């Protein structure tokens, strides 16, 4: 039993003091900050008097740009490095939050910029983070285990964030929720 305890204590210590653990924590915080707000974006847009067809147009613009930008993000990751592309993706996410914070009714230019910044964020951050994940994985022989830990941490953040987001909206407002998301995103960087 002592051998079992020593083995897992040493592995846990090694996990908490590695760059990989910091990377997983950063991805968790990043996912949490985005999931706080993203679930409520259609509701925010409805509150700004955008119709359902206009909200669907917003998501169409996002998807039209999201797919081709994946190829550009792959090329950019090889050209300037995954960490720099992750930083660019995080900056695009901050731009997304600032546009959402300042968005009002009938501001089509801001709505299109919101969709574009979401598309740039989605492609830059997630393509580069997968590349960096594969390079940083300490477990070359069993990468599946590392992928499982990363996916579990992202799923937990995705499940918990809307709960905290709803509580924030109930007790404060949507502006406070966006500010909290910006703070958590800044911590993740």
**Structure confidence by residue, pLDDT tens digits, 2-16:** 554 554 455 545 544
The pLDDT of residue 78 is above 50:
yes
DSSP code at position 98? H
Residues 42-77: tens digit of each pLDDT: 999 999 999 999 999 999 999 999 999 999 999 999
**3 belongs to a structural domain:** no
Assess if residue 1 is contained within a domain: no
Q: State the pLDDT at residue 25.
A: 82
Domain count for the chain: 1
| Domain annotation covers residue 183 | yes
Report the C-alpha gap between 8 and 107 in whole angstroms: 55
**Alpha-carbon distance 40 to 50, whole Å?**
14
Would the pLDDT of 106 be above 80?
Answer: yes
Tens-digit pLDDT profile for residues 125-137: 988 888 877 777 6
Is 115 domain-assigned? yes
Place of tokens 């910006």: 182
Q: Which domain holds residue 86?
A: 27-188
Asked if the structure places residue 20 within a domain, the reply is no
- Number of Cβ atoms within 10 Å of the Cβ of 67: 11
- Tokens read off for 83: 């960490």
- CB within 8 Å of 49: residues ≥ 6 apart: 105, 106
Specify the pLDDT at position 7.
46
Q: What is the pTM of this model?
A: 0.80
């Amino acid at each position: 039993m002592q051998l079992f305890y020593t083995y897992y204590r040493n592995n846990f210590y090694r996990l908490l003091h590695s760059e990989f653990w910091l990377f997983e924590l950063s991805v968790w915080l990043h996912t949490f900050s985005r999931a706080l707000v993203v679930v409520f974006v259609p509701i925010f847009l409805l509150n700004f008097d955008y119709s359902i067809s206009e909200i669907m147009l917003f998501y169409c613009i996002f998807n039209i740009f999201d797919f081709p930008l994946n190829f550009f993000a792959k090329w950019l990751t090889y050209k300037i490095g995954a960490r720099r592309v992750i930083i660019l993706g995080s900056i695009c996410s901050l731009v997304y939050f600032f546009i959402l914070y300042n968005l009002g009714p009938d501001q089509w230019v801001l709505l299109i910029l919101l969709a574009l910044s979401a598309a740039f964020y989605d492609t830059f951050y997630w393509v580069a983070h997968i590349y960096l994940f594969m390079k940083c994985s300490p477990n070359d022989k069993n990468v599946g285990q590392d992928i499982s830990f990363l996916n579990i941490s992202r799923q937990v953040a995705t499940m918990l964030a809307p709960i905290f987001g709803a509580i924030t909206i109930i007790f404060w407002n949507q502006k406070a929720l966006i500010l909290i998301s910006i703070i958590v995103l800044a911590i993740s960087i």
